[in-house]
Structure 1
Amino acid sequence: MTSGAGVGGMFTAEAAGVVLVSACRTAGFDPAGAELLRLGSNAVYRLAGTPVIVRIARDPGSLPDMTRAVRVARWLESEGFAATRVVADLEQPLVVDGRVVTFWVSAQDAVVYADLRELGDLLRRLHWLEEPGSLALPYYDPFQEVWDTLRALGDVPGDDVAFLNERAERIQKEYGRLDWVLDFGMIHGDANVGNAIRDRDGRPLLIDLDGFSLGQREWDLVLTSLYYERFGWHTRTEYESFVYHYGFDLMNWPGYPVLADLRELKMTLWIGHQVTTSEKAAEEFARRVHALRTDGSRKDWQAF
């Protein structure tokens, strides 16, 4: 294909739509009437007339991650764990015009999020599982992504890049001195209430399995703590229900501020890659960098 939708073109809704049509035809689905649910790290579509979600990865190098996500989903299903399911009897991922595409069973016709109580239960159960060696999960290395992302920030003012580099170096030094308290093992990698939805029967499910890896369990708790403590996206009651159902309050651990700083940095860098394609992203990136520079409030940070 020479549509501009592939790795040489911008990852826009129009470009992703071209990939969607080709991928659906290859997999035997009808793309007519598909609804774009989200355009971020993935373009996520719900197909019309069939309970299927299609995910098209922004990163053309994501084939290993998505292949692993499919394996993880099939293993979780064999364990009876409440997580999103891949479409059966379909060899995937597909690579279409340089983009990695996967097909998932749609939990229901509209996105209904689980609550923090249920997220805490899901993570506690997940952390009880012992993953088989056949999954070949990688070790979670947050700084590999940080440095790769910083090197690729070509459309961001140089003084902002220098500031973010200095901040990353400071956080990496502090990170190296952390005294972890929870067990090392399998983690979701991006656990937050946005990745826990309800199915048609009201049962909570974990979704977005791309980041499954081996790491410290604190990583699966930090976003919920950060969203409550710094962003104000959760109420105190909601947060306390999460803590009660998981069984540990990350904010009582001295290393929490370091993980929170690192997560904020990663969230800001992710937005930085979209400044040339989205005016909203450019405004949000400037807002976040200013808050980091001045240690200002994060209460006005917008969810992406």
Structure 2
Amino acid sequence: MASEFTEDVARGVLAEACAATGLNAGGAELLRLGSNAVFRLASAPVIVRIAQDPSAAEEMKRGAAVARWLASEDYPATRLVPGLAQPAVVGGRVVTYWESAQDRVEYVRLDELGDLLKRLHWLDEPESLGLSYYDPFSRVAGGLAALTEVSEDEREFLEQRAARLQKDLARVDFVLPFGAIHGDANVGNAIRHRDGHAILIDLDSFALGHREWDLVLTSLYYERFGWHTKAEYESFVYHYGFELRNWPGYEVLADIRELMMTLWLGTRTSGDPRLVGEFRRRLDALCTDGSRRDWQPF
């Protein structure tokens, strides 16, 4: 379905979804087209998210339930539009409606992300959420199965790397508590509300897991990719209160997230030369243990 999920397809679903709820899709701005198409409506302070995967109903249902729980805890996170049955299925796609928190895209500082995660990790999640256990290798397996533009040797390399990392993970001793995690925590999923405070967004990956998983992307972005400055990263560590890179399991988690990022991109190239080029760059770096400093965020 990835190759069929174009902006035109997403806008068709958006028009139908808005018509069904009394909203106006005219002039909607496409903010992102990836695992979800994310639109900001021009006619109302509403964000509409449309899942690329038609079978994502359970994931989106979980995200909506998490949003309601965080609202009940007065936790600073994205909020559902009230009064609508969510998630909805429109045109065979899964749709959710969220309050628009800002008028232009502005991400938070890393110290604010550290505060958000520290506060999140203090919460006690209710059993009624029905969160599943965080399993990175289910995503790795799905990514491997969906890859098409790789040679047999490249596929074998990726499969062997995944198998080795799975064994390495089984030997990791986690030191932070186990509980609810965002599952994809990074500065791209934390934005500034129009009133000035930081909020967490994209709640679909919430799961039960060790809190180290919510720290590894920020550490990886700084240490291997150079996407954060030293001062920014140190502010994150100070505000959260834990330096993941001093923990022996860091390299394993970082290697797993690198593999997940590469596979995710490899299943979404759709002939786009930019995405194809970035996927080949990442794959080459993994195969040769080359530098990651030229990796680009998507």
1:219 to 213, 224, 248: 213
- Alignment correspondent of 1:3: none
- Alignment correspondent of 1:128: 122
Structure 1 segment 63-102 matched on structure 2, within 5 A: 63-102=57-96
Do the aligned residues in 2 keep the contact of 1:155 with 1:275 (CA within 8 Å)?
no
Shift of 1:280: 1.2
- Alignment correspondent of 2:288: 294
Shift of 1:14: 1.1
Shift of 1:201: 1.1
Shift of 1:274: 1.7
Question: For the residues of structure 2 that align with 1:10 and 1:168, how far apart are their CA atoms?
Answer: 28
Pair 182,290 (structure 1): closer, same or farther in 2 beyond 3 Å: same
Shift of 1:251: 0.3
What is the identity, as a one-letter code, of the residue corresponding to 1:139? Y
- Alignment correspondent of 2:203: 209
Shift of 1:9: 6.7
What is the identity, as a one-letter code, of the residue corresponding to 1:135? L
1:257 aligns with 2:225: no
Shift of 1:191: 0.3
2:227 to 228, 233, 252: 233
- Alignment correspondent of 2:108: 114
In the alignment, structure 1 segments of 5+ residues that lack a partner are: 1-6
Shift of 1:153: 1.2
1:160 to 132, 154, 160: 154
Question: For the residues of structure 2 that align with 1:59 and 1:229, how far apart are their CA atoms?
Answer: 32
Do the aligned residues in 2 keep the contact of 1:182 with 1:216 (CA within 8 Å)?
yes
Question: For the residues of structure 2 that align with 1:260 and 1:19, how far apart are their CA atoms?
Answer: 36
Question: For the residues of structure 2 that align with 1:288 and 1:252, how far apart are their CA atoms?
Answer: 25
1:137 to 128, 131, 134: 131
What is the identity, as a one-letter code, of the residue corresponding to 1:92? Q
Could you list the per-position Cα deviations for residues 132-166 of structure 1 after superposition, in whole angstroms to 9, with x for gaps in the alignment? 11111111111111112211213333222111111
Structure 1 segment 152-191 matched on structure 2, within 5 A: 152-191=146-185
Question: For the residues of structure 1 that align with 2:295 and 2:285, how far apart are their CA atoms?
Answer: 9
1:59 aligns with 2:53: yes
Question: For the residues of structure 2 that align with 1:8 and 1:207, how far apart are their CA atoms?
Answer: 23
What is the identity, as a one-letter code, of the residue corresponding to 2:148? G
Pair 8,254 (structure 1): closer, same or farther in 2 beyond 3 Å: closer
Question: For the residues of structure 2 that align with 1:102 and 1:108, how far apart are their CA atoms?
Answer: 17
Shift of 1:13: 0.8
- Alignment correspondent of 1:12: 6
Pair 9,235 (structure 1): closer, same or farther in 2 beyond 3 Å: closer
Shift of 1:106: 0.5
Question: For the residues of structure 1 that align with 2:176 and 2:3, how far apart are their CA atoms?
Answer: 43
Do the aligned residues in 1 keep the contact of 2:107 with 2:192 (CA within 8 Å)?
yes
Question: For the residues of structure 2 that align with 1:141 and 1:153, how far apart are their CA atoms?
Answer: 19
Secondary structure of 1:180's aligned partner: coil
Do the aligned residues in 1 keep the contact of 2:26 with 2:43 (CA within 8 Å)?
no
Could you list the per-position Cα deviations for residues 244-301 of structure 1 after superposition, in whole angstroms to 9, with x for gaps in the alignment? 0000000000100000000000000001112234221111110000001111111111
1:267 to 261, 278, 283: 261
Two-structure CA RMSD over aligned residues (Å):
1.1
Question: For the residues of structure 2 that align with 1:226 and 1:24, how far apart are their CA atoms?
Answer: 39
Shift of 1:18: 0.8
Pair 178,8 (structure 1): closer, same or farther in 2 beyond 3 Å: closer
Do the aligned residues in 2 keep the contact of 1:155 with 1:276 (CA within 8 Å)?
no
- Alignment correspondent of 2:36: 42
Structure 1 runs (4+) deviating above 6 angstroms are none
Q: Which moved more, 1:262-271 or 1:140-149?
A: 140-149
**Identity within the alignment, %:** 63
Secondary structure of 1:282's aligned partner: helix
- Alignment correspondent of 1:4: none
- Tell me the TM-score normalized by structure 1: 0.96
